[in-house]
Structure 1
Amino acid sequence: MVAPQHGMTVSETRKLDMLSQTFLLVPNFHWIIVEDADKKTDLVANLLSKSGLTYTHLNAATPKDWKLKLDQPQWKKPRGVIQRNAALEWIRQNAPHDAQGVVYFADDDNVYSLELFEEMRSTKKASVWPVGLAGGLLVERPILNADGKVSEWFTLWRPERPFAIDMAGFCISLQLIRDNPKAVFSWEVPRGYQESHILSAVVTKEELEPKADGCTKVLVWHTRTENPKMTQEEMLKKEGKKPSNYNIEV
């Protein structure tokens, strides 16, 4: 499970903490956290050490020119490219050669059903499923043909994409990740093509394995939250007073 983190704010740290409570219920789980930072922070290190999970803590800083500013919309610049690639490199260098499993790119802005993790365990190459509250729709999903194969995508946003799917809507087998070292994310692809870029490197649309009862169930939802407005906290700073989190780790 790969989870890139982008300059941990207070709200993101809390979301990460809540996410860990879900992952605790998933057996045979390895969490790879990649901080968007020049060095690992004590805040994340402490959170992980107390989580009770098997994890790997990495860091990889996004170049300043590519960092998303707080007042910019989420789609303005590609996010998590360097962090996800750092995780993929770690997996290829450290996963036991005979290990079985899947790689899933998690996000702390999502809510996951435990059923999703059981579904993806049977993946042979790459599996797909619907995602709730994605692409400006209630549900963005693969459409299957009479043979139960993915034929197209139910999406209104850039439907021409080879794999018109959300990052939360697929996983790739560990074996395919190991066998295809050039399968990575890229800064150069158009907006919305990160998923297509990596999936195209390892699988064809015909080889995709539909999950979630023939892609009829939603087992993951986007629940994106906005960064909180800290106007009173800023006032404390201007007045030279101690912050509200003085001597408190948040």
Structure 2
Amino acid sequence: MWRVLKIKRISKILLLMVPFTLLLSYHRTNIPLLASQQGNIFGSRGISTLRNFLQSRNKVYTEQVYVRPPPWSDSLPTIYAITPTYYRFVQKAELTRMSHTLLHVANLHWIVVEDSDRKSAMVSRLLEKTGLNYTHLNVHVAEKLNSKGSGQRNLALKWLRDNFSVNDSNAGVIYFADDDNTYSLELFDEMRYTKKVSVWPVGFVGAVRFESCKVNASGKVYAWDVKYAQGRPFAIDMAGFAVSLQLILSKPDVYFRLHGIPSGHQETKFLEDLITLNDLEPKADNCTEVLVWHTRAQAPPLYRGYGDPYIET
């Protein structure tokens, strides 16, 4: 009987020793300088070493967060993502979410245009921290338009035409990427080699699960699978197409129309001025895959006057 009790006591001692052994092993592996300390590891030297270790880990973490864009490649066409934005409570959250997607896209230039009389400090700081190639513009359109962001998109198109010439060999594509959408990384690979205008489905738009184009056996778009305003020549959402930079440069007078355009017709009027239906290039497996979604954040219910007003959210 006493032998059994002795074995049980030894087992308990061993079980108590295991966590301490693992803890010491962890510190020796992750903080070798502390493991080599003589005497009390909680002395001033040990605390200093621990502080330096934590600071170095924090530095590496910060660099990983803000310096992520892939190396620029001379062999890849540039994607110019044009994003109109305006102040609201969720603006920073949505721009942050979008920037974390764009950080994984090679050869991307982000053109962010604020609907404002001046550039906001918040957007300026956010863009600088991303490490992305970007251009920050602003223009305030006082009139109430049927398509929000049209004035901002037009300013971005003007900036591109002012900075690039149709006679230059500028391989690139323009995408109107609103800040309240969700984007698959595959989408940017699909659009990169657009010759004129490439198209694909868009999820959660027009009161249906997705809108798309219809593609025939020859790989040509011949109609549209939509519920809203089915008679539009180009019944497509802003997130559903990309345009060749060369095509935009070759037609310097084409902009989004700001007056006399019914709601939901900005895209079709813009594309009518650029191409014909036969020019469309269906992507995303002949428009059978959804790679972009309208997932705008819901405005949160907030208590007015609660919290520090100087803390940026």
Q: TM-score, normalised by structure 2?
A: 0.71
Task: Name whichever structure is richer in helix by fraction.
Answer: 2
Q: CA deviation at 1:9?
A: 1.8
1:187-206 superposed matches below 5 A: 187=258, 188-206=260-278
Q: Percent identity?
A: 48
Larger radius of gyration: 2
**Residues 112-137 of structure 1: per-residue CA shift (max 9 Å, x gap):** 11000001012100000011111111
User: Is 1:32–2:101 an aligned residue pair?
Assistant: no
Q: CA deviation at 1:168?
A: 0.4
What's the secondary structure of 1:133's corresponding residue?
Answer: strand
**Residues 52-92 of structure 1: per-residue CA shift (max 9 Å, x gap):** 100000000011x417xxxxxxxxx3201110000000011
- Equivalent residue number for residue 177 of structure 1: 248
- Equivalent residue number for residue 188 of structure 2: 117
What's the secondary structure of 1:39's corresponding residue?
Answer: coil
User: Is 1:105–2:185 an aligned residue pair?
Assistant: no
- Distance in 1 separating the partners of 2:89 and 2:158: 28
Pairs aligned (count): 230
User: Is 1:212–2:290 an aligned residue pair?
Assistant: no
Q: Structure 1, unaligned stretches of length 5 or more? A: 68-76, 237-242
- Distance in 1 separating the partners of 2:295 and 2:111: 21
- Distance in 1 separating the partners of 2:98 and 2:229: 30
> Which letter maps to 2:277?
K
Q: CA deviation at 1:95?
A: 3.0
Q: Structure 2, unaligned stretches of length 5 or more? A: 1-80
1:42-191 superposed matches below 5 A: 42-63=121-142, 65-66=143-144, 77-95=146-164, 97-187=168-258, 188-191=260-263
Q: 1:198 to 1:245 in 2, by over 3 A?
A: farther
- Distance in 1 separating the partners of 2:277 and 2:119: 38
**Residues 134-172 of structure 1: per-residue CA shift (max 9 Å, x gap):** 111111000011211000000010010010000000000
Q: CA deviation at 1:226?
A: 2.5
C-alpha RMSD over aligned residues: 1.3
Name which structure has the greater RCO, CA cutoff 8 Å, separation 6+: 1
Q: CA deviation at 1:195?
A: 0.5
> Which letter maps to 1:48?
L
